[in-house]
Amino acid sequence: MSEPLKPGQRILLHMTLKLDDGSVADSSKVSGKPNLLQLGDGSLSDALEKQLVGLTKGQQKTFRLSANDAFGESIPELIQYIERHQFPAEINLQREQIINFSQPSGDSLPGIIRKIEGQSVKVDFNHPLAGEAVTFEIEVVQIHPPTRAETGQAIIASTVVAE
């Protein structure tokens, strides 16, 4: 039996996300390529990490997270109205289309076209599953211990804090 997953470790897993109506929102099994996740790097919700900690290689687990614990509630301030002329003319805007918007920092931010009325385009910058409770079906493929670099960073960080 393998060692259980601990905070700070990386986990290679297949993950299927289902909505309450039973529809599959996403699944790594479609591509056959498992996801590589890092616990403690801030990319996962605390509730999701708590469900993953302690799992072992080969283990399967199914659990449901509330909307708040999965991808958060929908935030009204992240829904914006943008004038049609601000989009490149060659883009054929369609409802539910995902478009990447360039940020001043150089990063891109995906937005979902929710509605088009005349020259006004309603764009939702919330996570696509925000506001949805999600059932996760997890299958652990492999658990990776922290790399030397990660272990070294932890030692350096604790030394700096101690000073």
Helix (H) or strand (E) holding 38: strand 35-38
Range of the domain at 81: 76-124
Paired sense of beta strands 98-102 and 10-19, if any:
unpaired
Model confidence pLDDT, tens digit, residues 100-113: 998 899 899 999 99
Contact 72, 128 (CB under 8 A): no
| pLDDT on residue 148 | 60
Using CA atoms, how far apart are residues 67 and 127, in angstroms rounded to an integer? 11
| pLDDT on residue 147 | 64
Q: Is residue 2 part of a domain?
A: no
Whether residue 133 sits in one domain with residue 95: no
Q: Dihedrals φ, ψ of 121, to 5°?
A: -120, 125
Instruction: Give CA torsion, residues 155, 157, 160, 163, to 10 deg.
Output: -70
How many other CB atoms are there within 10 angstroms of residue 49's CB atom?
16
Per DSSP, 84 falls in state G
Which CATH number covers residue 116? Answer: 2.40.10.330
Residue 17 corresponds to which amino acid? L
Whether residue 108 sits in one domain with residue 134: no
Which CATH number covers residue 25? Answer: 3.10.50.40
Whether residue 35 sits in one domain with residue 102: no
Per DSSP, 154 falls in state H
Q: Is residue 155 part of a domain?
A: yes
Whether residue 68 sits in one domain with residue 24: yes
| pLDDT on residue 2 | 74
Whether residue 60 sits in one domain with residue 21: yes
Whether residue 33 sits in one domain with residue 113: no
Whether residue 59 sits in one domain with residue 34: yes
Quick one: 123 exposed, middle or buried, by C-beta within 10 A (0-12, 13-18, 19+)?
buried
Q: Which residue has the tokens 């932890």?
A: 154
Model confidence pLDDT, tens digit, residues 86-144: 999 899 999 999 999 988 998 999 999 999 999 999 999 999 999 999 999 999 999 98
| 47, two tokens | 């509730």
